[in-house]
């Protein structure tokens, strides 16, 4: 496996765990990190062993405390645009890849860190985690998709307030807003994320990737186009051995054994 300097990757059965590992800078996202994360996710998408991915931060304090302010401080407008584009490539990849990604938010998820979590399919959060888009405090704005994903996720009114004030909010508030799926003690966070990843590995892999794709597209497609795509992908699942096996197993009252499930 490729080795990286800013992230660590562990494969645990069918689950890949990516740990963002710049603990001294509270796992802030510099260009190298954004690139390494993008490359690693592309590799994991192609790795047949892996059925789900967990993304977390090193240490107990932060998931990701934002874009790296030290690196960003002296960027020219053109360089800042390139950094934003790099981030967009990463968050778009997370949304578009077939394998589900769970953000296990173990501390601060601020700015680019909040935006990274927002792109993941589920957010599981430690009860001491903190979320926010505080870029306005630095004289800038979110640049990794936050201005677009937050209102889609929690509604325009609350997103406007949070993005304009830069207020930091608790995990409990994030749950109330519908931003996170689950809040639990920090000590249980990885176990909860791993259990969900293992559950996903028991399902038909093609069905999982189609389900993710369709629900994701619901944000951007008109209903008629979304339904048309649903019909096409629903029909395509009937070209897979997994559909035959899943339905045969149900009728034979036994667990399904899918082609690439564990
Ligand atoms: C670079 C960072 C950092 C960041 C923390 N550090 N956040 N370095 N970029 N985003 C560094 C600090 O400088 C410090 O380094 C070390 O991590 C520990 O941080 P402290 O501030 O000492 O910790 P604490 O007092 O506990 O405060 C934690 C914190 C605070 C509340 C999370 O660090 C903070 O406000 N960080 C910035 C959060 C933020 O504004 N994020 C948005 C960034 S802009 P030293 O060397 O002193 O030990 C963004 C844009 C993304 O994300 C889009 C770009 C296109």
Do the Cβ atoms of 65 and 113 come closer than 8 Å?
A: yes
Q: What is the pLDDT of residues 184-225, one digit of tens each?
A: 999 999 999 999 999 999 999 999 999 999 999 999 999 999
**Could you say which DSSP state residue 55 is in?**
E
Instruction: Tell me, yes or no, whether 94 and 174 share the same domain.
Output: yes
Instruction: Tell me, yes or no, whether 108 and 149 share the same domain.
Output: yes
In a domain, 15, yes or no: yes
Q: Which of 36, 45, 60, 135 is catalytic?
A: 135
Tell me which residue has its CA closest to atom 36 in ligand 1.
Answer: 65
Distance 28 CA to ligand 1 centre (A): 7
Instruction: Tell me, yes or no, whether 59 and 124 share the same domain.
Output: yes
Q: How many residues does the chain have?
A: 262
Instruction: Tell me, yes or no, whether 49 and 81 share the same domain.
Output: yes
Strand, helix or coil at 9? strand
Q: Which residues of the chain have pLDDT under 50?
A: 261-262
Its pTM surpasses 0.85: yes
Tell me which residue has its CA closest to atom 35 in ligand 1.
Answer: 65
Q: What is the pLDDT of residues 100-113, one digit of tens each?
A: 999 999 999 999 99
Do the Cβ atoms of 48 and 67 come closer than 8 Å?
A: no
Domain that holds residue 215: 205-251
Strands (E), 167-224: 168-170, 182-184
What is the count of structural domains for the chain?
2
In a domain, 118, yes or no: yes
What is the reported pLDDT for 2? 82
Read off the CATH number of the domain in which 227 is found.
1.10.12.10
Q: 3-state SS of 164-179?
A: HHCCEEEHHHHHHCCC
Distance 48 CA to ligand 1 centre (A): 36
In a domain, 261, yes or no: no
Instruction: Tell me, yes or no, whether 221 and 161 share the same domain.
Output: no
Active site residue 115: yes
Instruction: Tell me, yes or no, whether 154 and 246 share the same domain.
Output: no
């Amino acid at each position: 496996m490729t080795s990286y300097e800013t992230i660590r990757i562990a494969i645990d059965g069918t689950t890949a765990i990516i740990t963002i590992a710049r603990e001294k800078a509270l796992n802030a996202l510099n260009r190298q990190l954004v690139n390494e994360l993008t490359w690693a996710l592309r590799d994991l998408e192609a790795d047949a062993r892996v059925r789900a991915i967990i993304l977390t931060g090193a240490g107990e304090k932060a998931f990701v405390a934002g874009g790296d302010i030290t690196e960003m401080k002296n960027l020219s407008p053109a360089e800042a645009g390139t950094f934003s584009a790099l981030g967009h490539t990463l968050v778009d990849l997370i949304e578009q890849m077939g394998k589900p990604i769970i953000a296990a938010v173990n501390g601060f998820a601020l700015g680019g860190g909040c935006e990274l979590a927002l792109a993941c399919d589920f957010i599981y959060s430690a009860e001491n985690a903190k979320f926010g888009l505080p870029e306005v405090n630095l004289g800038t704005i979110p640049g990794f998709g936050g201005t677009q994903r937050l209102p889609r996720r929690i509604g325009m009114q609350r997103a406007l307030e949070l993005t304009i004030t830069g207020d930091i909010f608790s995990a409990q508030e994030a749950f109330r807003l519908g931003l996170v799926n689950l809040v639990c003690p920090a000590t249980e966070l990885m176990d909860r994320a791993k259990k969900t990843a293992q559950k996903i590995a028991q399902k038909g892999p093609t069905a999982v990737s189609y389900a993710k794709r369709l629900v994701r597209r619901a944000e951007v497609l008109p209903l008629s186009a979304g339904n048309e795509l649903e019909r096409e992908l629903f029909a395509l699942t009937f070209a897979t051995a997994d559909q035959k096996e899943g339905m045969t197993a149900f009728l034979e009252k036994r667990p399904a054994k899918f082609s690439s499930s564990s």
